[in-house]
Structure 1
Amino acid sequence: MSIKSLLLGFASAIIAVSGARAADAVVELEPAEYVKICDVYGAGYFYIPGTESCLRIGGYVRYDIGVGHVGSNDGARTSAVRTGDHRGTWRNNTRFAFKIWTGQETELGALKTHSETRFDFGNRNSGPDIPQNYASKREIMLTFAWIQLGGLRVGKDWSAFDTFIGYAGNVLNDMTAPYGGLDTNAVQYYFDAGNGLSAVVSLEKGSGVVGSIDSYVPHVVGGVKYTQGRGAITSVVAYDSNYGSVASKVRVDVNVTSEFSLFAMLGYGSNGRLNDGSSNVIDAHGRGFYKQWGGNWAFWAGGTYKVTEKNSLNLRFSGDQIKNHSVAANVAYTVVAGFTATVEVYYYHYGNCGVGMVDTSNVNWTDAEKKNSVGGTIRFQRSF
């Protein structure tokens, strides 16, 4: 037998043995489970693998920088490090907001959750007398954390007194006539009649020294809205159980064209037992959790004009009975999808009330609390 024959035989044997071992080593892989899009609840949702639940993750990163004086809480006053003298400085704040939504269809209706947590780093004032305006980490804020099954919602939300009727325009500065207390734990029920008519009833805890309920009796908010293609009419009423006082707001929205929209909102509340002589600044001057504006009535009016697909103009006027008035206007420009830059200017006039006060006839107005204030803000925001 030749050497060539021996080599060929040896190679054939190795190949045969290797082939047998390779056949024994074959492992059947399970099919990969890819993430599936869930379009039931809108864009951005996907099915959590192995479940019928849909998940959406989002949020934004924002940077604000501003100048000017807006009362004692504007964040624009500080003390000189070497001398302690009061002086102006930039207002600035960076925020990261993280949001999660879930949704799942059940025999009792849609089961949804929503949460939002905010992290801030920036500066703010401690008050006109101690303007310690240093940049630092600010509190972590749990803005939303609620569960909703059908029309029933429970958990941490903003008050229906504010969310159901809508916010007072697309402006960044809105201090002169606050329109509600926002943060609260709540038990709410939303009803949609399906013909443009909707309603809400909300039992609320409130928040803060003045706003939190002081017994087993909750605050109560009720609202009704009628919406059609050209706009909407909305009304909300709130009962403050701490003081037995009632506040209300009525709003009209009009879509003049597809690019141009207007709104007007009027708030009214009785001081009643809000003005009870308490030593607490807000409480003592007739401002509760819902009626936070000065005097009995306040108004907010403005509009949005969409100049192009990327550019919009926003304007808002506001004022109250005790002669606090303001106007704010901004230009919002979408640089690229998800990234918006906004430039805003504002004018505030404080009449008989500075921030946190009602009767300022004997107040010695400082630079930190000017009766006439002008300023501006630039905001950069990346939303995802």
Structure 2
Amino acid sequence: MTIRMMLISSAAALAAVSGAQAADAIVAAEPEAVEYVRVCDAYGTGYFYIPGTETCLKISGYIRTQVNGGPNASATNGNGTSVANDSDWDMYTRGQVQFTAKSDTEYGPLTGVIVLQTNADNASSQAAVLDSAYIDVAGFRAGLFYSWWDDGLSGETDDIGSKVTLHNSFRYQYEASDFYAGISVDELEDGYFGAGETPNNIGVAIGLGGKAGIFTYQITAGYDTDNEEGAVRAMGTVAVGPGTLGLAGIYSSGPNSYYQKAEWVLAAEYAIKATDKFKITPGVQYYGNYGIDTATGDFDDSNDAWKVGVTLDYQIVDNLYAKATVNYFEPDNGDDVTTGFFRLQRAF
């Protein structure tokens, strides 16, 4: 048999075998489709769908480095309160991350928020805390969150908030485009307590506010059931010339968890927008019957105080900000003191 005939015979044999085995041919499996993260634009920028669900998630936060100055300059501990030390300056760094989840329901958007925060006074002294965690739907909110008493004017001179503004609370808030009103029931377990009191307190607060043309306004009130005292605060701003004028006033019937610094307070500031990136805010505050008389447990009617200062805000680039403030405080009965801080903050 010639070589040509051998090749032809081999090819025929292979074709025959291939035809016989055609029904059993191996077929490669199709690769499964990869589900990429989808953008969710129903609730604003930054949200994306959690793969496999209809829940939208947003991750945000900031990194802050701050230097405090003044006699026995204070640092910030794990729960956000100030702790004095023996130095005239102190530096700390904070990292905060917020997770916001939203999904549609028959009652409107269902929102869940978790805020985690870590404060480091130095490399060996760090504290991680749950800064907020709450559920929000149809105007109802339940969990750990900041009260209306956490709000203030835009500068760093005013002192018109509660000493502790983060509570476990139930709240209902009605919101329209230019108006809101609500009521909350707050656990005041770490609030103000008089002599002989124990940390088992409940408070009721109301808040309302909104906009009217060039004006904004807010009225906040709270009643401390354990101390049987309450406080009310009115605050507003109006655009005037190159800046915004802010005014605030407080009356407190007696020391309580909502306000215990003075019986009455007046505060004012003028936030000047020098450029698109630079803001200058001088401010002043007056305290009537400042501090608590240990003999009576009431406000000290022999002691007034005043405070004056200026805050500078500068946007270095998008999402990077610098803030500096200097404040001078002088009580009738006590030493005057000058304090301030410088802060760098990167938001994301």
Aligned-pair distance for 1:71?
Answer: 8.0
1:43 corresponds in structure 2 to: 45
Matches of residues 231-310 of structure 1 in structure 2 within 5 Å? 231-256=215-240, 260-271=243-254, 287-294=255-262, 296-310=263-277
Aligned-pair distance for 1:90?
Answer: 2.3
Change (3 A) 1:251 1:39: same
Give the aligned length: 321
Q: Which deviates the most, 28-37 or 42-51?
A: 28-37
Residue number among 144, 149, 152 corresponding to 2:137 in the alignment = 149
Q: Distance in 1 between matches of 2:120 and 2:231?
A: 34
Task: Work out the percentage of aligned pairs sharing the same amino acid.
Answer: 26
Q: Is the 8 A contact 1:343 1:378 kept in 2?
A: yes
Q: Distance in 2 between matches of 1:112 and 1:94?
A: 29
Secondary structure, aligned partner of 2:44:
coil
Change (3 A) 1:209 1:345: closer
1:268 maps to amino acid: Y
Query: 1:320 and 2:287 equivalent?
Result: yes
What is the RMSD of the two structures over their aligned residues, measured on CA atoms?
A: 3.4
Q: Is the 8 A contact 2:55 2:101 kept in 1?
A: yes
Query: 1:26 and 2:28 equivalent?
Result: yes
Aligned-pair distance for 1:378?
Answer: 1.4
Task: Determine which structure has greater relative contact order: mean sequence separation of CA pairs < 8 Å that are 6+ residues apart, divided by chain length.
Answer: 1
Matches of residues 24-173 of structure 1 in structure 2 within 5 Å? 24-69=26-71, 77-78=85-86, 88-122=87-121, 136-162=124-150, 166-171=151-156
Change (3 A) 1:107 1:328: same
Q: Is the 8 A contact 2:323 2:344 kept in 1?
A: yes
Q: Is the 8 A contact 1:75 1:91 kept in 2?
A: no
Aligned-pair distance for 1:67?
Answer: 2.2
1:328 maps to amino acid: G
Q: Greater strand share, 1 or 2?
A: 2
Q: Distance in 2 between matches of 1:377 and 1:71?
A: 10
Query: 1:382 and 2:341 equivalent?
Result: no
1:131 corresponds in structure 2 to: none
Cα displacement string for residues 51-92 of structure 1 (whole angstroms, at most 9, x for unaligned residues): 1111001111111113222788876752xxxxxxxxx34211
2:178 corresponds in structure 1 to: 196
Aligned-pair distance for 1:121?
Answer: 1.0
Q: Distance in 2 between matches of 1:29 and 1:76?
A: 62
Q: Distance in 2 between matches of 1:223 and 1:136?
A: 41
Q: Is the 8 A contact 1:121 1:138 kept in 2?
A: yes
Q: Is the 8 A contact 1:189 1:201 kept in 2?
A: yes
Q: Distance in 1 between matches of 2:226 and 2:344?
A: 40
Secondary structure, aligned partner of 1:62:
strand
Q: Is the 8 A contact 2:236 2:246 kept in 1?
A: yes
* TM, length-normalised to structure 2: 0.80
Q: Distance in 2 between matches of 1:190 and 1:53?
A: 23
Q: Is the 8 A contact 2:144 2:168 kept in 1?
A: yes
Query: 1:344 and 2:312 equivalent?
Result: no
2:298 corresponds in structure 1 to: none
Q: Is the 8 A contact 1:76 1:90 kept in 2?
A: no
Q: Distance in 2 between matches of 1:299 and 1:316?
A: 11
Cα displacement string for residues 137-159 of structure 1 (whole angstroms, at most 9, x for unaligned residues): 24322221110111000000112
1:253 maps to amino acid: T
Gaps of 5+ in 2: 76-81, 291-303
Q: Is the 8 A contact 1:146 1:157 kept in 2?
A: yes
Q: Is the 8 A contact 1:161 1:180 kept in 2?
A: no
Q: Distance in 1 between matches of 2:42 and 2:276?
A: 26
Change (3 A) 1:209 1:108: closer
Change (3 A) 1:180 1:41: farther
Change (3 A) 1:227 1:209: closer
Cα displacement string for residues 100-124 of structure 1 (whole angstroms, at most 9, x for unaligned residues): 111111101211111212111117x
Gaps of 5+ in 1: 79-87, 124-134, 272-286, 353-359, 361-370
Secondary structure, aligned partner of 1:140:
strand
Q: Is the 8 A contact 2:191 2:257 kept in 1?
A: no
Secondary structure, aligned partner of 1:342:
strand
Change (3 A) 1:215 1:67: closer
Aligned-pair distance for 1:338?
Answer: 1.4
Cα displacement string for residues 263-322 of structure 1 (whole angstroms, at most 9, x for unaligned residues): 111010112xxxxxxxxxxxxxxx32111222x101232233333333222333223113
Change (3 A) 1:72 1:119: closer
Q: Is the 8 A contact 1:169 1:315 kept in 2?
A: no
Q: Distance in 1 between matches of 2:125 and 2:213?
A: 45
